[in-house]
Structure 1
Amino acid sequence: MDVLRFVLLSFVLLISVSNGMAAGRFKRAPYCKTRIDLAFVIDSSRSISRSDFKKQMQFVNDIVDFLDVGSDETRVAAVSFSNHLFPQFGFNDYRTKTDVLTAINGIKHSMGDATRTYLALEHTHQKLFAPGNGERPDVVDVVVVLTDGATNPGSYDRLTGSQGKQQTQKEAALIKDRGAYIFAIGVGRGVDVKELNGISSDPDQRFTIQVSGFSELNSDEVKQMLLKRACVEIETTPAPTPPPTTTPAQRVVECNELLADIFFVLDHSSSLKTEGNFNKTLNFVTGVIDYLHVSPTETQVGALKFSNIPEMQFHLTDYTDKQDVASAVSRIKWKGGNTFLDKALRMLRTEGLNKAYGSRENVPQIAVIITDGVSTDPYATKLELKRLHTLNYILFAIGVGPDRNPEELARIANNPNNVFEVESLNGLQAIRESLVTRICAKRVRAPVEIKKP
């Protein structure tokens, strides 16, 4: 690190933060432009009083308010925990500072009778930082863990206190192994310093922060300390090396050469609540189509929707250019009903990706299935999936919202990399490019011999 640059940045940060706090509120600092994917892991157990929990959330609020939050800047996610896990929001859900702060202010004090820290850390690396959920491979990952005590499984797991702490260390290690930085902030006398140091990244003196109570946590000094370390010191730390891939511009160019038959299978059950919510799904689909070259000799696109019964919207050969396909998608209406995914999969097999309805041999047969819940008849769904998998269809599963079923999504997809999960419909747009990239990886380039049905 350039010593002079570090000193100057630290000085500017100290003066500006102090001025903002002296004025009684935070103001966004133009210098704090470090691009990070920042996840808060928040203790909400009953050992924290209501007034102290408010101080803890004010601390989180103020830290976020000092960052440059946006789609191409810092992204924020959060999870809280006590006796149970309480997912709050993911990196895909909110893209403005105002929306993130509103979500933070909506986090509830669960007051559970245990401190199962390991559940929240497991959720962080398995869900928040999972591929397709908004974490960016070219941006530094930062986790801030806030707790007032040691891990305590209570009566909820067959773990002793010591085993619970070991599990917390294991989950923290998995986060750090992926290249993320963890700040562990312990509040009060009930914390286990050894456990905090095991959770945090090295060196401990930088990534472990201990305070005497929640008033000190909410002080200017502690906020300055964390902001300085996250905004200045990590700013000059290289981000984890991403896996070999192409640039976004290259991806789009390559996808222009995609030769495939693609079917969108859209859940329009009652759990979506409003047509406006369903339209968010349609906007996502039209955004994906925008990356494709639609024509009889390149990519063909079809769509069906399902709830109580499946309804074919258009077949692969009904529209032969991108504009007409996008227009047809935008006209799909929401009705509501149950989630009979099995019936939709049967229609996909018999009337969608089927030679009698325009699908082509020697061309990838791809389905993108978007659902916000579990299927009404899971057993029938399993049978239909088995039939589809024997046909070598390439299935992408996108689960939306808190009622999504990760196990069913995994069964739908042929490959774990073909599963996407978002916390809400607002998060769909953020996974669009990742989905397009993976679809395009299945491409067959023209010319190939295409046999007519």
Structure 2
Amino acid sequence: MAVVQYSDEAAVYFNLKTHRSKKAIIYAVRNLRHKGGRPRNTGAALQFVQDHVFTASSGSRRLEGVPQILFLMTGGQSNDDVSGAALNLKQMGVLSFAIGMKNAQQEELQNIAFSSKFLFNLPVFGELLSVQPELAAFVQAAIQTERPTVLESPQRDIVFLLDGSDDTRSDFTAMKSFVHRVVDALNVGEDNDRVSVVQYSRDPQTHFSLNTYTEKQDVLAAVQQLNHKGGRPLNTGAALNYVRNTAFVDSSGSRHQEGVPQILILLSGGRSEDDVASAAAALKQDKVVPFCVGTRNADILEQQMIADNPSYAFSVLRFDDIGSIDEQLVSFVKRVPHQQPRLTTQIGLGKTLSSLSLSLFLSFAT
């Protein structure tokens, strides 16, 4: 846990690795002193938390897939813009709760909160007690959930779903290079990792299935020979349904019945023209774990809805920059465990949580 207090500037009282016990954290919280100051710069404070709290040097385990949670408590409207910093946190996969009191602005809280379920606007500070049980239950359930294994699974079924619409024509070489690098980092083989590639725009098209190639060099050669599909509109929802019904099935080489992790890696350059929510939910119901990589023209909230959890949704300015997330994505992919019965607790957005990084964020501008 970490605690930050802000007014015109933000100050870290302790970071995520300062205290190792509940007793020490409670003692530190009880000794907090009011900061004071004007104005209230919530936007700058949100950016401060991203740059100085949710980082590895401060104890964040985001790169290990540990959920990152922010509780913002503010008593009024910000003097600066919050939208940019709030979006940056969402793109990082931080689940932000916005708790407004007294003179807080509803629209501003909506910008900050990860979803409407994570927004509380209270008339007075005393009403904090009314939401404390709900927030405490969320955290308690999260920390009591069994820690997932970090051992690499020896086998994975991985389907790449590539946006082949007209908008990605100039990006397709970079997209192929990304797929090539990810595949090259895998242990491809009939009894190891299997790979499939599907491209879509209006309609999806399978280039090769999970059981088409058994050697890595054959997969890499097939990736190099991919041609851009083209077409409009971008129907991501239909493509998600297609891979669920066509790619992740026994006849195409899927080993889902053996408990082999089923992984989808979606590369998208824009917002879908059709609904993705029901298709994404159906994939997750079938225990497919989606990862999403989108450019700035993609809808980050749509990407996070599709992804198995928000930290599995990556955002880059353009596909030429996609090399910056290669290692992180491969690391996450390799940590997807074999599907087996586990004691789990479902929280919030349907994510199974184990451990978490929690930042308590206080505004006490006078």
Tell me the TM-score normalized by structure 2.
Answer: 0.54
The correspondence of residues 249-398 of structure 1 with structure 2, limited to 5 A, is: 258-274=154-170, 277-337=171-231, 338-360=233-255, 361=257, 362-378=259-275, 381-398=276-293
Runs (4+) of structure 1 exceeding 6 A deviation are 128-131
TM-score scaled to structure 1, two decimals?
A: 0.44
1:122 offset after TM fit, Å?
Answer: 4.3
Given the superposition, is the C-alpha separation of residues 287 and 369 from structure 1 closer, same or farther in structure 2, using an over 3 Å criterion? same
How much identity, in percent, do the aligned residues show?
28
- Contact 1:291 1:436 survives alignment (8 Å): yes
* Length, aligned pairs only: 222
CA contact (8 A) 1:294 1:320 kept: yes
1-structure distance, mates of 2:263, 2:252: 15
For structure 2, the residue ranges without an aligned partner over 5 or more in a row are 1-39, 60-73, 90-149, 340-366
* Residues 270 and 344 of structure 1, relative CA distance in 2, 3 Å threshold: same
What secondary structure is seen at the aligned counterpart in 1 of 2:244? Answer: helix
Partner of 2:79: 165
Q: What residue in structure 1 maps to residue 306 of structure 2?
A: 412
Using the alignment, how far apart are the partners of 1:269 and 1:358 within structure 2? 27
Distance 2:290 2:47 in 1: 25
- Distance across 2 between alignment mates of 1:320 and 1:259: 13
Q: What is the aligned counterpart of 1:430 among 321, 324, 328?
A: 324
Deviation at 1:356, TM superposition (A): 2.0
Measure how far apart 1:139 and its partner are.
10
What is the aligned counterpart of 1:442 among 329, 336, 342?
336
Structure with greater Cα Rg: 1
Amino acid at match of 1:369: L
Tell me how far apart the structure 2 counterparts of residues 163 and 283 of structure 1 sit (CA, whole Å).
46
- Cα 1:395/1:334, change in 2 over 3 Å: same
Kindly indicate which of the two structures has a greater share of residues assigned to strand: 2
Distance 1:423 1:121, change over 3 A: farther
Give, in whole Å, the separation in 2 of the partners of 1:270 and 1:118: 39
SS, match of residue 195 in structure 2: strand
Question: Any idea what SS the aligned residue of 1:430 has?
Answer: helix
Distance of 1:130 and 1:420 partners within structure 2: 19
**3-state SS, counterpart of residue 161 of structure 2:** strand
- The offset of 1:119, in angstroms, is 4.7
Deviations 1:286-319 (A, max 9, x none): 1011111111111111010001110101000100
CA distance in 1, matches of 2:290, 2:168: 22
* Amino acid across the alignment from 1:296: E
The alignment yields a C-alpha RMSD, in angstroms, of 3.6
Higher relative contact order (CA 8 A, sep 6+): 2
Once the two structures are TM-superposed, the CA of residue 137 in structure 1 deviates from its matched residue by: 3.4
Preserved contact between residue 260 and residue 443 of structure 1 (Cα < 8 Å)? no
